[in-house]
Structure 1
């Protein structure tokens, strides 16, 4: 067995390393190596060539290291230098500090301090802590995202339960594959003559006279797909009552589910009256703002939630005003909402900002419905305050400046920091956001270039220049 390796390290004077190789060994053994005197003056600085993210730090040489250190790190350094000046250091210790470079960017370093052959000279070997800090940051973001998703799930679950129980209709959810009841509200349990707990998980077909599971479920699925088919008349087994089933089929999480509305014969008028009363209570005391307008957007009625959003004390103060007066983009927002609701019957979500009577602003989402079948006519708007909602998203990634903006531009911007100049990253990211905003405005205005320019705060000439820049001028054949 060759023992030369052991002899190499066991020599009293240390291993024989040639001076021309010592710098290379120190540079690659740490991310940053600094030769420092006990007064804090940098005698020499070497960065690891395998870790180019630190850049060039040659300008640190012959300058006080305190110039490049954060305030909260100075006390740690001073304590170490004082100990070395007093000759009290007999072992290697580590400190973690934050550096500030002249370019005003920060990086954390963990140093180990070593004695040298001279009492007034210290060797500091540093390890870059940015990867660890970034990992911790990502873990915190992931934890926050999980907590946010959990809270959102609980919020949706609560809303679902409230809606199910508040609904006057008897509603039952049935799994198509197993034919079993997965959920139902209290009204449905009463219609079948049982309780919600006893009926959950039971076979739906066994609750009716003379029905076999397979044929019964197939019939309901067929009825759900028949747009002109009437209800399915069946008789309940527990109470021997004739009821009508109105099935609807939908897919959730890859599984087909039937939503069956049960209507007991002769109770339609009672249910309608109860529903009207419930809707009136929801309108008066609901959390979301509800506004009714005429066909031109003039406010006819609004609930207390809307008065709270716009800082108004009485309905009489806003009745007769246009809803556009409370929208940040005024008539542009109003036209988009009315045009889309008129064309499709409803507009599900439109994000904008609401301005109160005293100038306060908040982010909102608006849903619009064209009430064509009502004698009063006009539009109904449901407005939800979204100013407190936070979305955990990774920032969009830029592409090189001047390149076409496509789907690849949505990668992580953080991964490009250090690989491209900041000016190019910012310019390319601006192109991505600008194209997305222009496409959205053109789509919302149904390719009305005048309305889109007004929505974006651009002149028509500037809009056409940008449409031509991003290849959107002839979009949709216009």
Structure 2
């Protein structure tokens, strides 16, 4: 084994013996002491025999009192294996390398970075450098890195919120490069207004989105917006044909000058699933009546069919009025319909009546649905007249109800005494029909079964329209 292995660098002195021989002992000691903040002279048993300290702060922490102590005893537990390894390396002739050793003190652990070299007679010399300044720099670097990461996370979160607001906003907005007049960003609302696919306008000249006749005026307006913030909105026609008021405001992002451009349509642009007809026009011209009411069942909107069905002079007479003024039997139908709406969210084809201005009730079917409106609930109803599909209501004694179902339908349309009279007539008619069927249309026998005279039977037959006045006595 080579008795003189390399200690530090590959380019060492070519004749170290000559260098060392030319140094006086005090000069050599001064050089070793000045090589680090602390220098330890250690014997073969690992005991510190001498110490040199150039860092006054280390002396204040009691490092000068280490003479006579084992080096391993003045280090922290996790540093002991490092000390053993460094001492073993010099015995084996391994190249020396710097290792950090922590020393406990009253004010906390002090990190010192040591390089151990072999001396004669099995001793060693350990040159140490105080690492507290470097540790403080590393700590500040770590804190700075963590701060940058937190700032980056906040920036990403802010960017995500901005992107969400930008994409979900209902107002058409474009971001334009003030120097090149090209579109940097465009939100979906603006894409729909201009008429195109997502991403089709990015990095395109902004002049392409307007009618060719308005392009020069647009470029002039954007140039003026780069110099002033108080410009009025510019009215232009888009390539899609929509008339819009365009307003631009300059802002800076980094070193780039950008323009925030808002497009304000002259008329609302509704999303109708590919159809051009506005929903309001469709509802207004529906053949069935439509009415929208608030939570208190006061009318917010009614179409022309409802105005016609209710018989009022104009829609202004309807808006704001309670729906109960026209719809349903008082205190019955509307409360039942409202209960079903609150429980199930919708009702369909409920039979009821609508009381027109003329006073005569009309048979209707009503369907409804619950819809949120401004943080509260509103109800939409479609109303269809079914009078032509139903049997006419009996209005005279000659046209009586034919069944119990028809009698129950009279509730709300007639007074109770009139319904009782109609019920009596119905029962009388049903009994006469049963007696005639039982006697095979023998009126004399039928009168006997019913316990009335034949003349009284003939009168009732005539009143109920069941026969003529010709008797069957012959």
- TM-score band by shorter chain is 0.3 to 0.5
With structure 2 as the length reference, what TM-score do the two structures score? 0.46
Report the structure number with the largest CA radius of gyration: 2
